[in-house]
Homo-oligomer: A and B are copies of this chain.
Amino acid sequence: MKRLVGLDWGTSSLRAALFDGQGQVVQERELPRGILTVATGEFPVVFHEACGDWLRPDTMALLGGMVGSRQGWLEAPYCPCPAGFADIAARLQWLEPGRIAIVPGLNCETQGVPDVMRGEETQVFGALQLLGLEHGLFVLPGTHSKWVRVAAGRIESFRTFMTGEFYALLRWHSILARTLPAADGELDATAFLRGVEHALATGNLLHSAFSARTLSLLDRLAADAMPSYLSGLVIGEELRLQQLAALREPLVVIGSPGLAQRYELALRALDVPVRSAGSQATWRGLWAIAQTLGDIA
C-alpha cells in the first residue's frame, strides 16, 4: 500500500497536496512555479522543491494539468473521449514506473474539429465523487471555460469557450478599454445581468460587444458598471450555446468562488438549477484515479 502526493501543475501556478490513507488532504502548498516559469530540464528540481520532503519509498505522486503539455515536463498524449477513471489510469505517463506519473488530458472531436483539456478532467472526476454523480453537465469557468458531458461515470464529450480570454482582450486591449475604469471593482449584479440578457437576445458577441461602446458614448451606462456589463456579455454568450432548457438535473459549476458566483447568478436568472464543487475537486479526482491503480491507501 502506498501513500499519495498530488500536484495540480498549471500554466501559472503549482499546487501540491499530501493525502492521508483515507484520501483526506493533510497538507497543501502553492508555489508561483507554473510551467511557464520552468526551464526545460528544471522540472525535477521544481518538483522536489514542491514536495520532495513528502516523498518516501512508498509514496506515489500524480501530476495533473499543463505539466503534461508539450511545454511541460513530459508530453502525455491526450486520452480520447469517452474516458473514465480507468481509461485515464491506463494511460498515465510514468516518469518513474509506479512512483511518479502525469495524468493525461483528454481530446474529443466534433465534425472534424478537435477540442482538448488538461487538468479539468481530473476536476470533473473529483466532482463526480464529491457529489455522488454518474452523469450530468459540468461547467468549469475560466480563461478557457470547459463544458463537459458525463454519462455512466465517463466524460463523453466537451467543448471549450475562450470566455475569460475574450473578456481580458476586450477589457484591456479593445476600443472598449478607453471608457472603462482602471480597475474592475465589485460586481454590479444589475449591469452584469443586463449584459447576460443582451448577449442572449443578440446571439453574436461581435455585435453585442459594441453595445458597451454605444451605451458609454450615449451616457446610458456608468463607467463603473461597464466591467460587470462586459462580463455579463461574454458569460451570456457562453451560456447561449448550451442546451440548458433540456437539462434534467442541476448543472454542476466547478471553480473558484468569485467566478462560480457570476455563473450561478446568470444561471439562476435563467431558471437553471445549479450545484457547486470547489477547489477540492482536483484533489478528490487525483485520489480517485490513484484508487483505480489498486495499491493506494
Contact = CB atoms under 8 A, between A and B. Distances in A.
Interface of A: 70, 107, 111, 113-116, 144, 159-163, 165-166, 169-170, 173-175, 198, 201, 203-207, 209-211, 214-215, 217-218, 220, 234, 237-238, 240-241
A203 B242 CA distance: 11
A206 B161 contact: yes
Contacts of A211: 113-115
Given A203-B241, A205-B206, A206-B162, A214 B116 contact: yes
What is the count of identical protomers in the complex? 2
Given A114-B211, A162-B174, 17 more contacts: A70-B217, A107-B214, A113-B211, A113-B215, A114-B218, A114-B220, A144-B210, A161-B206, A162-B207, A162-B209, A169-B169, A169-B173, A173-B173, A204-B237, A204-B240, A206-B234, A206-B238
A111 B162 CA distance: 27
A112 to B, nearest CB: 9
A206 B234 CA distance: 8
Contacts of A161: 204, 206-207, 210
A220 B160 CA distance: 18
A257 B92 CA distance: 53
Contacts of A111: 201
Given A173-B169, A173-B173, A205 B203 contact: no
A163 B220 contact: no
Given A116-B217, A169-B174, A205 B207 contact: no
A161 B208 CA distance: 8
A68 to B, nearest CB: 13
A163 B204 CA distance: 11
Output the residue of A162, A206, A210, A238 with the most chain B CB within 10 A. A206
Contacts of A238: 204, 206
Nearest to A108: B214
A165 B174 contact: yes
A273 B173 CA distance: 36
Given A144-B210, A206-B161, A238-B206, A215 B166 contact: no
A232 to B, nearest CB: 13
Given A113-B215, A201-B111, A206 B163 contact: yes
A160 to B, nearest CB: 4
A114 to B, nearest CB: 4
Nearest to A220: B114
A77 to B, nearest CB: 11
Nearest to A167: B206
A196 B209 CA distance: 20
A170 B198 CA distance: 23
